[in-house]
Structure 1
Amino acid sequence: MTHNYQITGMSCNGCRTKVENTLNAIEGVSAVVTLSPPLAVITMENHISTKKFQDSLSAVGNYTIEDAHALITNWQNEITKVTNLANEDIIKPSNHGNGKFYCPMHCEGEKLYDKAGDCPVCGMDLVQQASISQKTEYTCPMHPEIIRDEAGACPICGMDLVPKSASETEDNKTYKDLLRKMKIAVAFTVPVFAIAMSAMLPNDPLMKIMKHAAWNWVQFILTLPVVFYACWMFFVRAWKSIITWNLNMFTLVGIGTGVAFLFSVVGMLFPNLFPNEFKSETGTVHLYFEATTVILTLVLLGQLLEARAHSQTSGAIKELLKLAPTEATLVIDGKDKIISIHDIKKGDLLRLKPGDKIPVDGKITIGEGSIDESMITGEPIPVDKKVGDSVSSGTINANKSFVMVAEKIGSETLLSQIIQMVNEASRSKAPIQKLADSISKYFVPIVVVISIITFLGWAKFGPEPALVYGFINAIAVLIIACPCALGLATPMSVMVGVGKGASSGVLIKNAEALENLNKVNVLIIDKTGTITEGKPSVEKIYATQQNKDLLQDIASLNQYSEHPLAEAVVKYAQEKKISLIEVKDFEAIAGKGVIGTVNNRKVALGNKALMAQVAASVSEELENNIIVEQKLGKTVSYIAVNGIAEGFVSITDAIKITSKAAIQELMQQGVEVIMLTGDNENTAKSVATELSLSAYKAGCLPEDKLKEIKRLQGLGKVVAMAGDGINDAPALAQADIGIAMGTGTDVAIESAKITLVKGDLQGIVKAKNLSHAVMKNIKQNLFFAFIYNILGVPIAAGVLFPFFGILLSPMIAALAMSFSSVSVIVNALRLRSIKL
């Protein structure tokens, strides 16, 4: 009997081999394991429970196994659904973007909404999340409701379908809708304002045309489109905020303008209900239609400017989205065929011509290229690539032609992962935002209370007409307060900062990491792949006696390991045209090396700790030769066969050109830089001396790195850890800030909070500078928002009137309120121009 099982926890071919060998070791089992998809096809003589398989896998690693029947059935069902939909010749509704929206103030954290609208908490317009999918859609110029995934003819009129505009998004729709309403609001507000202001002109010319009461009716009629159409959404949001008790800016705007409008309507229809203080010389009540329309129009202007500014804050993501091409050139049977990038499959051969954008991740198989990777790494100098080198989606082939094989497609590509990470980080909350959130919770009720106190204070102690003064100033208090300036202060800076980091090759997982990086005072770094290039090469193999099979033994053993040093040995053997043979009982021992049985010989390759573990004897002559190599900065691996050390492999890994400068700059900023490496004392000392490190520790196993980080944290240090290997994953997770080299493994990247795409220590300097700039920007925004409200509300209440005779018109208050939140966004946008 044969069953399919899903395996989780595998990250490399070594894991796959270990899982497969473990399952096959169970009596009566024949298993074939694949890494992508992570499945095990198990044939067994008699039924064996999943628990027995799980117990065996748990003994060798953190792997889980479960029946994949339901999973495969779901996949098949989904494929059937998609196929059925593709075969239906129906008119598809327009679907802009990816249908996911978020609140720019992150009122409910990282929550996403399925459709456009306003936030149920703060009432602000939801912003569309940048879509990772870049699928080209085609529409009919005569029938825009026709949407197709590929070019063809319109099923209604037969016209050729044309590509839809990439800029046709919900964000643009929101902006255009607000702009249209703005034009209507201005068209009706200007005459209302002109009528109200005519009384200030000599002899009041309008009164010669009609009586004051008649002009009041004209103002009323002109106000209706502003209140009940152009700006009606503000009252809807205000009502929602009250019944849900999520009080916000629109609560204040709705109450203030609503009271002014209703007061004016009642005053116009029933003037005798009001005392003489509210009446003019002609006996009519002072109406506030002009205040209502002007305030609402100015608030609408603020919303319009915010909509435009919001689209700029996510500009970095949109620029990343533009990097992905819509088409690719497939090489099939020696001929070129243009296809959509969504039709690319793993293993496809793709031709790249000069100037082409690379559509997916893969490796060059024929030819060579000069790749502009600046959009991913932030580095402007093109990188030369040859056969076997990896290329990433979104980068540009400069001036040569080559053929590549597709290895990662869709959401697996580096570009898609970057966009996803930036999207998620942009929606996360920084700890510093808790202060603003706490204040915002009580802000609106306090402002309403202050407004009531303002009215009562003016009514009792103010000069005549005291009630009019009290009414106007109470409305001004409601209108000028701006809780959204507080709410936007942090998320806007985070969004722009995260985008800036992404365009510079610094990927930030969340806002907390961005904030905490500014506090880091200790940086822990690994050696191989972090300080060094991570491209080790075998310099020589030394043998104590003639053993022609020594290279074949260690290369065969290393073919199952994912470690860079292992890859170097395998590559060296291939260059020497040494064939690799089967290895039994392979095991990778973290931080020490690898062991296995090759041609019935027990072979061990690793450091001195591994030699002790396998009880291998090391001659004095061999040890002295090894020390000489280590003092030259070389990494040396002992080779033991059947318990006797028969030689060593000397491997060199050049220090990155930028490592020394980056370390010096970090130390100048007050950061202590410590190297923890699994390499030996002599090699570690040589590297540490060359780089002038603060300190170093050699011979570190993964648990040693973990203990050292915990020790430093116990001393009150804020620790960042930079690494690139699976062995570094526990330390990366324990550190206050884990920094993964993008050239490293997926496990390290997943464990880290910050990823450096280029895998360069200079990226840590960029990340530290970015963190400092973002935190400074957030504090500026919070300061402005606090000061604006602390000063604005008392001034609107009339606190300056007894001393300077100054009162703040509600219309001026509305203008100030609208520009307060816009100014916060504009200040955040300055982060786009900082130099990292």
Structure 2
Amino acid sequence: MSSQQTTASQYQETLSIEGMTCASCVGRVEKALKKVEGVETANVNLATEKAVISSSKPLNREDLIKAVERAGYDVAASPVIELTIEGMTCASCVARVEKALKKVEGVQQANVNLATEQAWIQADANVSSERLIQAVQKAGYDAKLVPSNKTEQQDKKANELQELKRDLIISLVLALPVFILEMGSHMIPAFHMWVMHNIGQYQSWLIQFVLTTLVLIFPGRRFYQKGIPALLRFAPDMNSLVAVGTFAAYSFSLVATFLPQVLPKGTVHVYYEAAAVIISLILLGRYFEAKAKGRTSQAIQHLIGMQPKTARIHQNGQILEVPISDVTSDSIVEIRPGERVPVDGEVVEGHSYIDESMITGEPIPVEKAVGQSVVGGTINQNGTLNIRATAIGESSVLAQIIRMVEQAQGSKLPIQAVVDKVTMWFVPVVMGLALLTFFVWLFFGPDPALTFGLVNAVAVLIIACPCAMGLATPTSIMVGTGRGAEMGVLFRKGEALQLLQDVQVVAVDKTGTLTEGKPTLTDFQVMDGFEREQVLQIVASVEAKSEHPIALAIVEAAQQENISFLPVTAFDSVTGSGIQAEVAGQAVQIGADRYMHEIGVNVSAFEAEAARLGNDGKTPIYVAIGQKLAAIVAVADPIKESTYAAIEALHQLGLKVAMITGDNRHTAQAIAKKLKIDQVEAEILPDGKVDVVKQLQQKYGRVAFVGDGINDAPALAQADVGIAIGTGTDVAMEAAEVVLMSGNMQGVPNAIALSKATIRNIHQNLFWAFIYNIALIPIAAGILYPSFGILLSPIFAAGAMALSSVFVLGNALRLKYFHAIKFDA
């Protein structure tokens, strides 16, 4: 948790640090924080587990957190409050809501998303949701907590869409006669004569007045209810532009109809059709926009739909079907063929195959037997399973995936900062330009100058489209992250989408990332004077105290030979080097050659054999008993079949691949040669991975690091983008910005390719949104009239404005059809 406050002469940030145990930890955290640019002092308190950082300028909280994580510690997350914001229509609304939320004391970060209509606020624990809601309401919008029941939220959206559709139909029915009466008379002389003869001009104007008034009062009321109050608060938005534009056309027409004598000669015209048709076209655009917005969130809706509503549980000797909310941890749940797994659990009875493609993106069903875990939302295929529930509700894998995707979709990319600055002032500038247009035409335009001024000013107000600018980035993020989730690629932070496309190097941990992470014992040679079975018994007894994958391989081999274990004392693990202990009164050391050199054991007798084993891709380990070399052991960790194609795909994307491993150089180079990896960093201790990542960043630029273990967390934090293998540890996933649910490297090129496609899509949207406004606002103002005699009707301006937002949404939806890279089987 953190909070930032300003003192008389400096800024202060407070972080809650997790994982400190002694004074050395305090020193390391302070040292890491002081390295962050701009930090003047950093005081860490072990008792309170707080770090107070001071600076003479505002501090970037993310930089501070990354520094702490690189030092090997965690920062407690601040509480996150999610609000649904009602009443936003354009990018200007987003900027105002964000500004209002950030003014609340204790709020560290506030991201508002126009596409999802939600706000994501990170704040101190003492900041209540009521204070945040009040701040939003003061800004002129409505807010409430995001309901835990997602179905309720979807139903509300569906009702809003139906209401919009109803208003659109009413508007079109009322506006069509107005358009025919006025524009038909201008375009078809015979129709004009018919109107004059059978209805009369004044009566035609009265009919248009009545119908247009109904359009403005009923379907058009939403623009006035929101736009006028915003204007009075000196915070105009898109609704204000529509309200002012249509009211100007309507008011002028009203005067022309009932008080024509007050207007200059030659200017008595009505523009009822402009007001009525503008409302209709903008409602049409908003209807299409709402439909398209619904499609952008289909990935989330699909994930929510994967959650079964009921489960079949064993209770008092019976099998009962109960609501999913009644399932508790340790409940025994029955799953029949073809059914979705209702909760996360562990198989206690039965055998089947589970389709996990909706979670991992992998199409091949996975075999499940007793003792193996299953994930809620996946589909049981051909056998009946009984599982013990292990995670339910918000703690389930599916709920966490939904939460990750929602947070990524609600986040802002760095590219959005420029857009936010522009949109904050966009509407006031447009209103100023409309006013300028009116007076320029009034004083310098040809007769009827008043009419020209009014029509062109209304066109400027109506054609301006801050909506497209506000939707350009969030809609692409929504569709891109949603498509990623379908492929088993979870972006925990939206900004990873932007950073990943610029990555030059992908650095990977070896064990568990490139390889299966399940080593097996392949070789065991002893020196003269030692018995193989006796040495294996001693080694296995010591390794049984360790949880390292290599240790497990040796223990498993001993168990297969029915070797019993001996008592072990004085066990000590030397991180990244080896282990030492005492067995039957003898000192035993097991580790790599560097460890043997450190303790003074000569390994020259096995150096040639070690080189041979390393060249075969095996990891050689030495055993010393009583300070004498006793044996050389080798284990092999098979390379995942999926790794070969993944590395090739990364090369095809023009990226370099670097392998960082604690393994010996011979073994590392042999594996790198097989995989065609560009750079190998071998014999690297866990702490050294961070330094290697830094070196790669200095040499090449942006670096992505892929890992799966606890010791990978600092390197994941140091990298520009950390990518965690989903089958790895929770610590690794917390430190990463991207999580691969499939558990293999093939998700990495897919994530990078999706990142490039999404950012390209955002650039297209922003280009369209800005070029549209830059080009068409001057045309609406009449810039083409002096040379070409061309003026833009307010009706065409409304149509163009409506199409602008629809274009942006349609372009973003193309990401739904992004194709994952096809890998050869």
Same fold (TM over 0.5): yes
Contact kept in structure 2, 1:122 and 1:248, CA below 8 Å: no
| Structure 2 letter corresponding to 1:498 | T
Note if 1:370 corresponds to 2:353: yes
Note if 1:216 corresponds to 2:205: yes
Q: In the TM superposition, what is the alpha-carbon distance from 1:513 to its structure 2 partner?
A: 1.0
Once residues 803 and 398 of structure 1 are traced to their aligned partners in structure 2, the CA distance between those partners, rounded to angstroms, is 72
Secondary structure, aligned partner of 2:339 = coil
Q: Deviations over 1:622-649 (max 9, x none)?
A: 5554444333212244445565554454
Note if 1:440 corresponds to 2:423: yes
Cα gap change, 1:101 to 1:256, in 2 (>3 Å): closer
Cα gap change, 1:312 to 1:210, in 2 (>3 Å): same
| Structure 1 letter corresponding to 2:283 | L
| Structure 1 letter corresponding to 2:155 | T
> What is the number of equivalent residue pairs in this alignment?
720
Among 722, 731, 750, the alignment partner of 2:706 is 722
Among 274, 284, 290, the alignment partner of 1:301 is 284
Contact kept in structure 2, 1:733 and 1:751, CA below 8 Å: yes
Once residues 644 and 363 of structure 1 are traced to their aligned partners in structure 2, the CA distance between those partners, rounded to angstroms, is 46
* Residue aligning to 2:226: 237
* Residue aligning to 1:110: 111
Cα gap change, 1:460 to 1:627, in 2 (>3 Å): same
| Structure 2 letter corresponding to 1:264 | S
Once residues 788 and 139 of structure 2 are traced to their aligned partners in structure 1, the CA distance between those partners, rounded to angstroms, is 36
Contact kept in structure 1, 2:459 and 2:797, CA below 8 Å: yes
Q: Please, what TM-score do these two structures have when normalized by structure 2?
A: 0.79
* Residue aligning to 1:187: 173
Once residues 323 and 558 of structure 2 are traced to their aligned partners in structure 1, the CA distance between those partners, rounded to angstroms, is 40
* Residue aligning to 2:26: none
Contact kept in structure 2, 1:313 and 1:492, CA below 8 Å: yes
Once residues 327 and 582 of structure 1 are traced to their aligned partners in structure 2, the CA distance between those partners, rounded to angstroms, is 51
Task: Provide the identity percentage.
Answer: 40
Once residues 405 and 833 of structure 1 are traced to their aligned partners in structure 2, the CA distance between those partners, rounded to angstroms, is 38
Once residues 293 and 464 of structure 2 are traced to their aligned partners in structure 1, the CA distance between those partners, rounded to angstroms, is 21
Alignment of 1:7-18 (within 5 A): none
Contact kept in structure 2, 1:198 and 1:204, CA below 8 Å: no
Q: Deviations over 1:569-626 (max 9, x none)?
A: 455556566677987766554433455667777655443444456x373554455544
Contact kept in structure 1, 2:137 and 2:143, CA below 8 Å: no
Note if 1:746 corresponds to 2:730: yes
* Residue aligning to 1:824: 808
Contact kept in structure 1, 2:346 and 2:371, CA below 8 Å: yes
* Residue aligning to 1:176: 162
Cα gap change, 1:121 to 1:606, in 2 (>3 Å): farther
Q: Deviations over 1:158-202 (max 9, x none)?
A: xxxxxxx88952211221121122222223222333343454453
Note if 1:607 corresponds to 2:592: yes
Alignment of 1:655-694 (within 5 A): 655-694=639-678
Q: In the TM superposition, what is the alpha-carbon distance from 1:824 to its structure 2 partner?
A: 0.2
* Residue aligning to 2:498: 515
Cα gap change, 1:466 to 1:824, in 2 (>3 Å): same
Q: Deviations over 1:131-176 (max 9, x none)?
A: 7767xxxxxxxxxxxxxxxxxxxxxxxxxxxxxx889522112211
Once residues 343 and 627 of structure 2 are traced to their aligned partners in structure 1, the CA distance between those partners, rounded to angstroms, is 47
Q: Deviations over 1:772-810 (max 9, x none)?
A: 111111111111112211221122112222333222110
Once residues 625 and 312 of structure 1 are traced to their aligned partners in structure 2, the CA distance between those partners, rounded to angstroms, is 61
* Residue aligning to 1:834: 818
Once residues 118 and 193 of structure 1 are traced to their aligned partners in structure 2, the CA distance between those partners, rounded to angstroms, is 43
* Residue aligning to 1:258: 247
Cα gap change, 1:548 to 1:275, in 2 (>3 Å): same
| Structure 1 letter corresponding to 2:810 | V
* Residue aligning to 1:350: 333
Once residues 718 and 386 of structure 1 are traced to their aligned partners in structure 2, the CA distance between those partners, rounded to angstroms, is 43
Once residues 501 and 829 of structure 1 are traced to their aligned partners in structure 2, the CA distance between those partners, rounded to angstroms, is 13
* Residue aligning to 2:265: 276
* Residue aligning to 1:493: 476
| Structure 2 letter corresponding to 1:187 | V
Q: In the TM superposition, what is the alpha-carbon distance from 1:493 to its structure 2 partner?
A: 0.8
Alignment of 1:157-556 (within 5 A): 169-197=155-183, 199-200=185-186, 202=190, 203-208=192-197, 211-279=200-268, 286-332=269-315, 335-539=318-522, 541=524, 545-546=530-531
Secondary structure, aligned partner of 1:305 = helix
Among 542, 550, 555, the alignment partner of 1:565 is 550
Deviation larger for 226-235 or 311-320: 226-235
Cα gap change, 1:808 to 1:306, in 2 (>3 Å): same
Once residues 430 and 593 of structure 1 are traced to their aligned partners in structure 2, the CA distance between those partners, rounded to angstroms, is 44
Cα gap change, 1:511 to 1:122, in 2 (>3 Å): farther
Q: In the TM superposition, what is the alpha-carbon distance from 1:337 to its structure 2 partner?
A: 2.8
Q: In the TM superposition, what is the alpha-carbon distance from 1:560 to its structure 2 partner?
A: 6.4
Secondary structure, aligned partner of 1:230 = coil
Once residues 343 and 552 of structure 1 are traced to their aligned partners in structure 2, the CA distance between those partners, rounded to angstroms, is 50
* Residue aligning to 2:751: 767
Structure 2 residues not aligned, in runs of 5+: 1-15, 23-45, 51-67, 77-81, 99-109, 113-117, 120-128, 821-825
Q: In the TM superposition, what is the alpha-carbon distance from 1:220 to its structure 2 partner?
A: 2.9
Alignment of 1:140-159 (within 5 A): none
Cα gap change, 1:552 to 1:221, in 2 (>3 Å): farther
Among 789, 793, 797, the alignment partner of 2:777 is 793
Note if 1:650 corresponds to 2:663: no
* Residue aligning to 1:147: none
* Residue aligning to 2:767: 783
Once residues 121 and 523 of structure 1 are traced to their aligned partners in structure 2, the CA distance between those partners, rounded to angstroms, is 47
| Structure 2 letter corresponding to 1:700 | I
| Structure 1 letter corresponding to 2:479 | V
Q: In the TM superposition, what is the alpha-carbon distance from 1:707 to its structure 2 partner?
A: 0.9
Contact kept in structure 1, 2:83 and 2:143, CA below 8 Å: no
Q: In the TM superposition, what is the alpha-carbon distance from 1:316 to its structure 2 partner?
A: 0.8
* Residue aligning to 1:91: none
Once residues 205 and 825 of structure 1 are traced to their aligned partners in structure 2, the CA distance between those partners, rounded to angstroms, is 43
Cα gap change, 1:366 to 1:630, in 2 (>3 Å): farther
Among 568, 592, 599, the alignment partner of 2:577 is 592
CA RMSD of aligned residues (A): 3.7
Contact kept in structure 2, 1:198 and 1:205, CA below 8 Å: no
Once residues 449 and 490 of structure 1 are traced to their aligned partners in structure 2, the CA distance between those partners, rounded to angstroms, is 27
Note if 1:712 corresponds to 2:701: no
| Structure 2 letter corresponding to 1:539 | T
Q: In the TM superposition, what is the alpha-carbon distance from 1:536 to its structure 2 partner?
A: 2.6
Contact kept in structure 1, 2:525 and 2:532, CA below 8 Å: no
Once residues 599 and 266 of structure 1 are traced to their aligned partners in structure 2, the CA distance between those partners, rounded to angstroms, is 108
Q: Please, what TM-score do these two structures have when normalized by structure 1?
A: 0.78
Contact kept in structure 1, 2:437 and 2:453, CA below 8 Å: yes
Contact kept in structure 2, 1:252 and 1:448, CA below 8 Å: yes
| Structure 1 letter corresponding to 2:259 | F
Secondary structure, aligned partner of 1:308 = helix
Cα gap change, 1:551 to 1:356, in 2 (>3 Å): farther
Contact kept in structure 1, 2:499 and 2:721, CA below 8 Å: yes
Cα gap change, 1:252 to 1:166, in 2 (>3 Å): closer
Once residues 664 and 359 of structure 2 are traced to their aligned partners in structure 1, the CA distance between those partners, rounded to angstroms, is 35
Contact kept in structure 2, 1:121 and 1:246, CA below 8 Å: no
Cα gap change, 1:245 to 1:600, in 2 (>3 Å): farther
Contact kept in structure 2, 1:132 and 1:416, CA below 8 Å: no
Q: Deviations over 1:327-375 (max 9, x none)?
A: 2222346643323333333333322221121222233333322121111
